[in-house]
């Protein structure tokens, strides 16, 4: 990593071997991680990306052309930086199939025409690598030491990137797997942050309990070079795992319920902790996704959770869900898509409406996920009272406000606006109040009202005409619209309360 191919060719021992380029590299600036020498045919699986192999080809001398091609392909697949082959002792000339396959695979190949002990080349090359890496390793050690001191003082995840940016003079960020920025330092503005996310100079994954939580990203700076950034990123990733782990306990499967419970209690102090804990619980919403809270009441919450999981898998959605105090609650991240201009409405349609009462909160950015979850959970009692299957919290707003009134206040509101209709319904066994409620709920559309009530349009016209005569004003009169909407909603809420208290009783005129 600290020695380029160009620098390798300039080493005295390599120059003494009179190297010739058989297959040139794509760039001479490619890094050499380590130099090995071997004559065994099966060396490929033992090498790593960036290694350079010295060989006389002894292991290939008795192999056929197909086996030699396979040897080249295996080295190329491992990402070997180059092969330097000494000709003369085992292979007097370079076999054509090796040259051809190396060119096909893009594997840099050098020929050494003069015999130089490989131990001399290896010692000189690897010594140069270690010498060059020493300052980088010291710098990484110093940064890690500073981070540990900051963490011990309660610095948290910002310490990881803050110390890195201070040492390198460049930008640094700690991000979740989906690209959500948990902490950043050394970035001037949002555009600089976005550039770092798109093209980091070095990055290293942060893994906790075998969970791919996120990554440390570093940008270029005057404090070190690219190999130094790579060393530092790898070292910081391990420290970041410790810092992130301090925000959660247990195992990934144990973290969903506590996080959801804290969100319901509004006890997650900020978006940084939310992102950290969400990542630990394997919830990775993309930065542009809209997050929606969902809650359900059902005899068996486990069945609800299983259904939510199937919906999430079917539509490739990020889901965080568990049981909290006997109810199924969760967060769903819906990525933007042309067929989802209304994420909340789309999700409500995707969730099954039978077997449970489910509420879907407003779509919000991930930072406001707790608010959407609380909205969904707070609306659940009203949705259960009204017998809704799957309901949007926005459609329950009026019922939730009216639910703060007692029965007497609701009755006064209903009687003030609907007394003539109530009397008519009681005397004739009709349901003009329900007809009016459905008509208002469908925006005054006679076609949709007739479809919802399963009646002929002529029959609906007659009902609406009767309602207008009894009320003494048009049902579509804007000045009385709000009053009638409030009254019909209050009537529905009263009926639901009576049905809950006396399952076999119904209010007069409700049938």
Domain holding 474: CATH number?
1.10.10.2840
Domain stop point among 116, 147, 165: 116
Give the distance, in angstroms, between the CA of residue 468 and the centroid of all CA atoms in the same chain: 54
Q: pLDDT at position 209, please? A: 65
Do 417 and 482 sit in the same domain of this protein? yes
Q: How many domains does the chain have?
A: 4
Q: pLDDT at position 246, please? A: 62
Structure tokens at 119: 């131990």
**What are the backbone dihedrals phi and psi of residue 264, each rounded to the nearest 5 degrees, phi first?**
-65, -35
Contact indicator for 35, 54 with CB cutoff of 8 Å:
yes
Structure tokens at 346: 């789309």
For residue 494, is it within any domain? yes
Q: pLDDT at position 509, please? A: 42
Q: pLDDT at position 329, please? A: 94
DSSP-derived letter for residue 251 is -
Do 153 and 241 sit in the same domain of this protein? yes
Instruction: Give the CATH number for residue 67.
Output: 3.40.1390.20
Do 366 and 342 sit in the same domain of this protein? yes
Contact indicator for 180, 189 with CB cutoff of 8 Å:
no
Domain stop point among 345, 372, 397: 397
Do 375 and 458 sit in the same domain of this protein? no
Task: With CA atoms as reference, report the closest residue to 219 among 207, 210, 228, 208.
Answer: 228
For residue 308, is it within any domain? yes
Do 21 and 83 sit in the same domain of this protein? yes
For residue 28, is it within any domain? yes
For residue 356, is it within any domain? yes
For residue 101, is it within any domain? yes
Residues in the chain, overall count = 511
Structure tokens at 206: 């942060």
Q: pLDDT at position 441, please? A: 83
Hey, what long-range contacts does 270-273 have (CB within 8 A, 24 or more apart)? Answer: 271/366, 271/367, 272/156, 272/157, 272/158, 272/182, 272/183, 273/247
> How many Å apart are CA 91 and CA 102, to the nearest integer?
16
Do 172 and 203 sit in the same domain of this protein? yes
pLDDT digits 0-9 by tens, 21-50: 999 998 888 888 889 999 988 888 888 888
Instruction: Give the CATH number for residue 331.
Output: 3.30.70
Q: Which residues pair with 31 in a beta bridge?
A: 4
Contact indicator for 398, 486 with CB cutoff of 8 Å:
yes
Contacts of 364 (CB under 8 A, 6+ apart): 290, 291, 292, 371, 372
What's the half-sphere exposure (Cβ side, CA atoms, 13 Å) at 256?
18
pLDDT along the chain (511 residues), means of 10: 83 95 89 90 87 93 92 93 92 93 95 94 90 82 89 82 92 88 88 90 84 88 87 89 64 74 89 86 88 90 91 93 89 90 93 86 94 94 88 92 89 88 88 87 86 88 89 82 86 84 52 35
Do 392 and 412 sit in the same domain of this protein? no
Do 91 and 152 sit in the same domain of this protein? no
Domain stop point among 397, 422, 452: 397
Do 291 and 343 sit in the same domain of this protein? yes
Do 29 and 71 sit in the same domain of this protein? yes
> How many Å apart are CA 484 and CA 322, to the nearest integer?
40
For residue 273, is it within any domain? no
Neighbours of 69 (CB within 10 A): 19
For residue 493, is it within any domain? yes
Structure tokens at 281: 């619980």
pTM beyond 0.75: no
For residue 428, is it within any domain? yes
Do 418 and 393 sit in the same domain of this protein? no
Structural domain boundaries enclosing 346: 280-397
Q: pLDDT at position 279, please? A: 86
Give the distance, in angstroms, between the CA of residue 360 and the centroid of all CA atoms in the same chain: 20
Q: pLDDT at position 128, please? A: 87
> How many Å apart are CA 259 and CA 331, to the nearest integer?
11
> How many Å apart are CA 475 and CA 483, to the nearest integer?
11
DSSP-derived letter for residue 221 is B
* Longest CA span, the chain: 114
Do 285 and 391 sit in the same domain of this protein? yes
Structure tokens at 290: 């809209």
């Amino acid at each position: 990593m600290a020695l380029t191919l160009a620098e390798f060719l300039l080493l005295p021992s390599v120059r003494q071997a009179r190297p010739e380029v058989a297959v040139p590299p794509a760039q001479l600036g490619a890094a050499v991680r380590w130099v090995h020498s071997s004559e065994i045919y099966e060396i490929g699986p033992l090498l790593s990306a960036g290694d350079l192999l010295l060989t006389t080809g002894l292991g290939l001398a008795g192999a056929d052309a197909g086996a030699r091609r396979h040897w080249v392909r295996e080295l190329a697949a491992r990402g070997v930086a180059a092969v330097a082959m000494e000709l003369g002792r085992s292979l007097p000339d370079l076999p054509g199939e090796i040259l051809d396959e190396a060119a096909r695979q893009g594997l840099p190949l050098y020929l050494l025409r003069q015999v130089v002990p490989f131990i001399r080349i290896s010692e000189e090359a690897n010594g140069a690598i270690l010498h060059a890496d020493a300052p980088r390793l010291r710098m990484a050690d110093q940064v890690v030491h500073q981070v540990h001191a900051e963490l011990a003082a309660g610095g948290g995840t910002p310490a990881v990137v803050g110390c890195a940016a201070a040492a390198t003079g460049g930008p640094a960020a700690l991000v979740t797997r989906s690209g959500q920025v948990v902490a950043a330092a050394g970035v001037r503005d949002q555009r600089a942050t976005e550039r770092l996310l798109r093209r980091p100079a070095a990055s290293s994954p942060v893994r906790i309990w075998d969970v791919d939580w996120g990554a440390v990203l570093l940008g270029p700076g005057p404090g070190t070079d690219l190999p130094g950034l790579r060393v530092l990123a790898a070292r910081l990733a391990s420290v970041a795992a410790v810092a992130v782990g301090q925000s959660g306990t247990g195992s990934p499967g144990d973290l969903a319920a506590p996080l959801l419970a804290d969100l319901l209690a509004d006890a997650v102090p900020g978006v940084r902790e939310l992102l950290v804990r969400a990542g630990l619980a394997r919830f990775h919403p993309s930065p542009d996704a809209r997050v929606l809270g969902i809650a359900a009441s059902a005899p068996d919450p486990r069945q609800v959770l299983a259904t939510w999981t199937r919906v999430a898998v079917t539509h490739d959605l990020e889901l965080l869900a568990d049981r909290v105090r006997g109810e199924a609650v969760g967060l769903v991240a819906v990525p933007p898509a042309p067929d989802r201009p209304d994420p909340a409405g789309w999700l409500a349609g995707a969730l099954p409406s039978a077997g449970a009462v489910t509420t879907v909160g407003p779509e919000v950015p991930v930072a406001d996920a707790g608010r959407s979850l609380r909205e969904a959970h707070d609306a659940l009692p009203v949705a259960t009272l009204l017998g809704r299957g799957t309901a949007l919290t926005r459609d329950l707003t009026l019922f939730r406000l009216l639910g703060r009134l007692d029965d007497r206040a609701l009755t006064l509101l209903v009687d003030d606006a609907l007394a003539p209709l109530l009397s008519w319904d009681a005397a004739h066994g009709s349901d003009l109040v329900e007809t009016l409620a459905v008509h208002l709920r469908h925006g005054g559309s006679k076609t949709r009202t007739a479809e919802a009530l399963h009646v002929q349009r002529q029959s609906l016209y007659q009902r609406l005409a009767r309602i207008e005569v009894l009320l003494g004003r048009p049902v579509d009169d804007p000045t009385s619209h709000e009053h009638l909407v409030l009254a019909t909603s209050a009537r529905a809420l009263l009926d639901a309360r009576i049905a809950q208290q006396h399952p076999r009783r119904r209010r007069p005129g409700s049938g």
